[in-house]
Structure 1
């Protein structure tokens, strides 16, 4: 399986002839290009930095075979599109080409009591090979080999992130959701959360456009 990191929360996953994109949002400059090459799009929740509604709607119109999976709010925003838009929730199991996908979690992490928490789901691919949690520190009840870890945003906290990695116990961590951190902030966060820090787990900082084998 090959993972390509895009800016912020968006990644492309490829296995065999299957290519899917998770969370193509407005903070990801090449999101349209990534989606144009995909058979499916998975969206964790409705926030604009994870879900560029206009971009995904245009892709559905331009790509007759494209399938989209997301929360009820995401599905409602896009409409059925001939049954190609699917609402998913925790406990669902999907097959997208050669990839299996398990759906985990329920809610976005709390930012403040005055700000509503939308539904948020995480996606566990290929029997634990990769987990994308969206905007939540939800630990799936399943082994995870590579965890995509959000490191910046109004809801994130270093202490909670460390406890989250300890709970999930992945073999490897890759940073996502990083755009609110400077280069210095990313390096500092990696030291605190990485192999020599609080978690004892390798944490990779991948520049947008970088691909790795999982």
Structure 2
């Protein structure tokens, strides 16, 4: 995959290729720069650390042509003012084009936090068959898919670090880029970053990307 990846906090990510951009998960713990000059916005689920609807409305007003979101989030975005002709439902198993990228929707449900906490829909996005943004889940991969870059959640109320380790080992990407760590203190982040390089599978690079620092894939 040839593209430029930029992280903007928590799960907010921007991909750029040939001057075309798409942005993921513009939530409350992230920088709105994730949606700067994007053609499409892709949202994994409705939790506020992954989407602030007003940010999506502003991105559309600035020129974003498509917004993709799970079924249970679509009404909320419509009510916030995202136009109907721009808003699309991300259905697991289906594919679409966004900003020059080919995207396949995987998964379907948020990981379990607790039996008493409702589980919203969660759309994981496989981009160009090579980069996976799982949202708040560890989705199974379709047969024959080999992920090059895994955006790996490393801290959340719904997970423990051993689950991140087992998932990156199952996926075995060329590089694992940590995301979803806004609730970690600097000390906590250093603990995770100290452990993970020794726990990823052979052939996988654990790559910490700085906030706002472009990385060539």
When normalised by structure 1's length, the TM-score is 0.92
Matched, 1:54 2:54: yes
Q: Secondary structure at the match of 1:175?
A: strand
Q: Name the CA distance, whole Å, in 1 between partners of 2:26 and 2:39.
A: 14
- Which residue of 182, 186, 194 corresponds with 2:185? 182
Q: Secondary structure at the match of 2:74?
A: helix
The residue that corresponds to 2:157 in the other structure is 154
Q: Name the CA distance, whole Å, in 1 between partners of 2:195 and 2:34.
A: 32
Q: Name the CA distance, whole Å, in 2 between partners of 1:124 and 1:65.
A: 20
- Which residue of 200, 205, 215 corresponds with 1:212? 215
Q: Name the CA distance, whole Å, in 2 between partners of 1:64 and 1:5.
A: 21
Q: Secondary structure at the match of 2:109?
A: coil
Structure 2 CA distance for partners of 1:167 and 1:51, relative to 1, 3 Å: same
Displacement of 1:65 in angstroms is 4.7
Q: Secondary structure at the match of 1:104?
A: strand
Q: Name the CA distance, whole Å, in 2 between partners of 1:45 and 1:82.
A: 18
Alignment of 1:15-164 (within 5 A): 15-28=17-30, 30-31=31-32, 33-60=33-60, 62-79=61-78, 81-128=83-130, 130-141=131-142, 142-164=145-167
Displacement of 1:143 in angstroms is 1.1
Cα deviation 1:33-70 (Å, max 9, x = unaligned): 3324101000000000001112112333x235521001
Q: Secondary structure at the match of 1:72?
A: coil
Give the gaps of 5 or more residues in structure 1: none
Q: Name the CA distance, whole Å, in 2 between partners of 1:68 and 1:167.
A: 30
Structure 1 contact 3–212 (Cα < 8 Å) conserved: yes
After TM superposition, the runs of 4+ consecutive aligned structure 1 residues lying more than 3 A away are none
Displacement of 1:184 in angstroms is 2.4
The residue that corresponds to 1:172 in the other structure is 175
